């Protein structure tokens, strides 16, 4: 039995009341719940209201407001279904960040360990500063657009929650105050490697936060085309 528009709206309203305001996840769950209700109404020949209550009771645990201190931070709270999805995404993201930091950190360490000319160091420092400036500008624009957007997604929410860290890195790593001043060819490769890995961390992290924002924009574009 196909659900009516009013019945679909009732499902959506109940999800919103339970804190599920993210369009991407909300549409996914509405589809699951609607399909389950339709199937049970067809098989058991019982009313929508009875099946509605039964199905939502089944989904109750997935809609409980929860958090993940380790992966999302103590202050990020959302329905458990959303938290579980973002934790899985964050774990994949962490692995990618770790791998790319090691790769770029090793490349940078090799360069600075075999470079003796000050002009080369200045050129690398300038390239790092320009790159991070681009990351900051893109982050700022993305945060503004997502904040203004009427379509809320779980990726957009997490990006707004994490985006400010990109600006904090400017102060913590002195990116705009000669980021390579502690590196030179007289240091051991291991010393340069550790320093370069730390230096590459904010760049790779900031890039992946923009990937988080891009997920939001992809979903918004897709929803507008529907």
Classify the C-alpha dihedral 61-64-67-72 as positive or negative. Answer: positive
Question: Beta strand pairing status for 65-68 and 73-79?
Answer: antiparallel
pLDDT confidence band for 1 (50 / 70 / 90): low
Rounded to 10 degrees, the C-alpha dihedral 178/180/186/187 comes to 130
Q: Write phi, then psi, for 66 (nearest 5 degrees).
A: -145, -175
DSSP one-letter code for 77: E
pLDDT digits (tens, 9 = 90+) for 43-75: 877 888 899 999 999 999 999 999 998 899 878
In the numeric block, which tokens belong to residue 65? 């407001």
Distance CA 140, CA 147 (A): 11
Which residues, in sequence order, are CB contacts of 209 under 8 Å at separation 6+?
A: 139, 159, 162, 163, 165, 166
- pTM comes to 0.86
């Amino acid at each position: 039995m196909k659900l009516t528009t009013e019945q679909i709206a009732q499902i959506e309203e109940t999800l919103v009341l339970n804190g599920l305001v993210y369009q991407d996840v909300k549409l996914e769950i509405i589809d699951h719940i609607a399909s389950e209700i339709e199937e049970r109404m067809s098989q058991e020949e019982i009313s929508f209201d009875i099946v509605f209550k039964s199905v939502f009771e089944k989904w109750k645990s997935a809609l409980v407001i929860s958090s993940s201190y380790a992966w999302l931070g103590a202050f990020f709270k959302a329905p458990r279904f959303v938290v579980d999805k973002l934790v899985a995404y964050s774990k994949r993201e962490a692995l990618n960040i770790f791998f790319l930091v090691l790769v770029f950190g090793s490349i940078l360490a090799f360069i600075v360990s075999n470079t003796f000319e000050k002009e080369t160091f200045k050129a690398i420092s300038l390239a790092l500063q320009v790159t991070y400036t681009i990351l900051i500008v893109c982050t700022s624009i993305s945060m503004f657009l997502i904040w203004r957007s009427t379509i809320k997604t779980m990726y957009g929410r997490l990006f707004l929650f994490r985006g400010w860290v990109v600006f904090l890195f400017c102060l913590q790593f002195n990116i705009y105050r000669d980021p390579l001043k502690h590196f030179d060819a007289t240091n051991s490769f291991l010393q340069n490697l550790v320093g370069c890995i730390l230096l590459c961390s904010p760049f790779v992290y900031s890039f992946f936060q923009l990937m988080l924002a891009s997920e939001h924009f992809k979903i918004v574009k897709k929803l507008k085309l529907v």
